Structure 1
Amino acid sequence: MLIPELDIFVGNVFIIDWEIFKLWLDGHECPSAASILQQRGSLMAGATMDMLHGDVLDHYRSFSTLERLLEVPTLFVEQRVLQISPNDQTDIIEKYYDFDDAVMRELIGKKPSSKLRKELDDVCEKTGVLVRSCRRQFDNVRRIYKQVDEMTGNVLDNIRQQFLLPDPLARRYAAILFLDWVRFETHKRKLAHLTFNDFFVCADGLLRHWADEECELDKEFFQDLREIKAILEREKEAKTVTLRKLEGGRLSTDAAGDLTQNFRSLFRSLVNIATGLYRSRELKDLFIDLQEKIVEPCKCARWTQSDMESFIAAINFDVSEIETFRRQVTGAAGETDLPILWRRYLRAVGPCILQLFAS
C-alpha cells in the first residue's frame, strides 16, 4: 500500500495593511474603522460588512501584539516571532512614534506625568484627535522621556539609538524633552496662537547655540551675558549704527518711522532679556518676553517680516561698530569678547523672534 506524501509549509510572515494600520494609529475602534473603509470603497464585490469587520478585527489583534513589542523598538527589530521585513519594521516604528502637532502642542512644557495623562480627554476635545491616539502619543513621549532622562551622553543620539527613529523625528522629540526639562512657559494666553512647529524651531535653535549635547544649557554663558548691559551706555551709538545699516529702503515706511521713534524701547528689551537669562524664572519666560516686548510692539507698528529680518541682521554688531564692544569682560568662562556674547545670544534669539513674528 502506497502512503501518499504530503508536504506542509507553515509560515508566519506578517502582512500589514497600511490603511488599516493608519486607522488604528488614529485611534478608531474596529467598527468605526470598518465603516470608514466601507465609505472609501474597500468593500469588494460579493463581500459583506461582517466580512470587512472581521478582517479589520484580525488586523487590530495583530497590531495589539505589535504594540507590546514597539515599546522597546530595539527588541522589536530583533524578535523572530513575527517575520517582518527590515523596511516594514522601519516604517512601523516611525509611524507608531510619529505624532500630531496639535496634540504635542498641548503637551510641551509639561512633565509627562500620570496626572497629565488623566487630562488627555481635554486634549482630545480641544484637538479633535481621538483619545486612544492621544494616549499613544503621550505614552511615547513619557517612554522616551524616562529612558533618555536616565542616560548620559548625546540626547539626540540616545533617542535615535534606543528608539530607532529617523533624524527629523528624533530632533522633534529632543526639542520636546528640552522644553519639558526647562519648563519653558508655552501656555500663556499670548502664546496660545503658536503652533508646535513654532516652538520646535525656537527650541531647536536654543539647543544648537546655548546647550551641550546632553541638552544642558550653558549657565556660564548666561552669567557672562549679564555683562551685555554695558552696551546700554552706548545706546545712541547703537541706534546710529543700526539706522545707518538700514538705510536705502531696507525697511518699510511704517517700520522705519517706528524704529526711529522707539529704538530705545526695543533695544533695551533685547538687552534686558539677555541679562536676565541667568535667572531660572526669566529663562522659563523667554518666549512670553519675546512675544510681549519685541513681537507685539512691532506688529502693532505694522512691521513686515522683511522688516524684522533686516532689523535682527542690523543689530548683530561687530567689534568695529560699537565702542563698548572693543573691551573684554572677565566672566565665568574667563575673558570673553562682548561681540561674541552678543552674537551667540542673537544666533538663538533672532530666529525665535522671526518665527514668533511670522505666526
Structure 2
Amino acid sequence: MEAHEIHKAFIDIYGQPDLLVRSPARINLIGEHTDYNGGFVLPAAINKETYFAISGNGTRTCNVYSKHFDETVTFELDDIKPSDKSWANYLIGAVDQVQKNGYKVHGFNIVFGGNIPIGAGLSSSASVECGLIFSINELFSLGIEPVEIIKMGQKAENEFVGVQCGIMDQFINVMGKKDHALRLDCRSLEYYYFPLKLNNYCIILCNSLVSHSLATSAYNTRKEECLRGVEIIKAHYPEVESLRDVKLPMLQHLLPELGENVFNRCKFVIEENLRVLESCDQLQKGDVAGFGRNLYDSHYGLALTYKVSCPELDFLIGFTINKPQVVGARMMGGGFGGCTINIVENTYKDDFIQAISDAYQQRFEIMPEIYEVAPAEGTSEAAVSECVNTKSSL
C-alpha cells in the first residue's frame, strides 16, 4: 500500500487532504536486549512506511480510517477512551498523550496505511504513534519538539495500549537519517549518526513467520535476571547503576554468587554493548566485513548465552554460514521468532533469496517473507503534489 493509495482513499471519503505524512519502520542493526539495561543500540529507519492523509474538520470529533482493515473508528476529543478495535488504540493513545501534555488538538479526519509488514518486528506501532503525533503537530502548528514526540509515542504504547516497550523504536522513527544508522545511549538519550553505506552489499530481512509462546515469558525472565545481576553486583560495587557500568572482570569475580544463568545474561549484555561501539567504528571506517562478524557474534550470544533464539532463526542464520557473499547475519528483536538481518552482496541477492526461501520451506514447511530494505529519513511531511504526480505516472 503506497502513498498514492492513501491519498486517493482520503479524497474518496473526505475530499482533498491538508497534509500527507510518511512515517518509517525500523531495523536494529545490533544491540539487542541492551535497551532496558541502560546500554547502546544501533537502529536505522528504513524505506517501509506508514502514510497519513489528514485534514482538520472544525469539530471536536476525530474520524480515523484504516485502509488496511477497511474500518473507521470515531472518537471524541473530550471523552478519550479505549476502542474495541485494537489497531485504533495506538492512534487514540497518541492523541491522548498530546492533550495530556497541554497541547490544543482539534477534530480531524485521517486515512492511514502503508507497506510495513505487520508482526515482522519492524515497529509498525511506533510508526503509527509518532506518525500521527507528527501529523497533528504540523496540521495544528502545535510546536511540539521532536524529543517530545518520541516520549509521547512511547507513553501512548506504555500507558494506553499497555505494551511496555523501550524508547528505541520511537526515537529512530522520529530521528532517522537517510543512509545512516543512529547509535542511541538508552540511559542519557544522547545519539550519534554513523554512515550506513555498505557499498557492494545490501540489507535483506528474512521473516521466519513464527512467534513462539515463550517470547513474552522468557523476555520478562531475562529482564528479571539482569536486574537480579545488578543487585548482586551493586552490593560489591556501589557505583554500578546498570549493566552498562559493569566490566567483565567484575562479573567473573562474582560468578559463584550470581549463578550460571544470571552470569550468562549479564555477560551477554556487557559484550553486546561493546559490539555496538565496535560496530560504529567499523561503519565509520567502511569495514563491512568486520561489521558482519559482529552480527554473527551477536546472534550466537543471543542463541547460546542469552538463550532467546529458536530453531527457525538458528536455521536461517546457519544457512548463511560459509557463504562468502553473506558477510554477516543475526536474529533481530526480542527473540523466539521474527526476522533475521543479513548483509548480502548485491550480485548474489536474487540467488540468496531463492535459495534461503527454498531451504526454509523444505525444512519447516513455511515460505518465509523476504524484504530488501535501505536506511531512510525519519518521519516527515510528503508534499501532496508529489503524491498526485506519483499517482498520475502509474
Higher normalized contact order (CA 8 Å, seq sep 6+, divided by chain length):
2
TM-score, normalized by the shorter chain, greater than 0.5: no
Structure with the larger helix share: 1
Give the TM-score band, short-chain normalised: under 0.3
TM (norm. structure 1) is 0.27
Instruction: Report the TM-score when normalising by structure 2.
Output: 0.26
Structure of greater Rg: 1
More strand per residue = 2
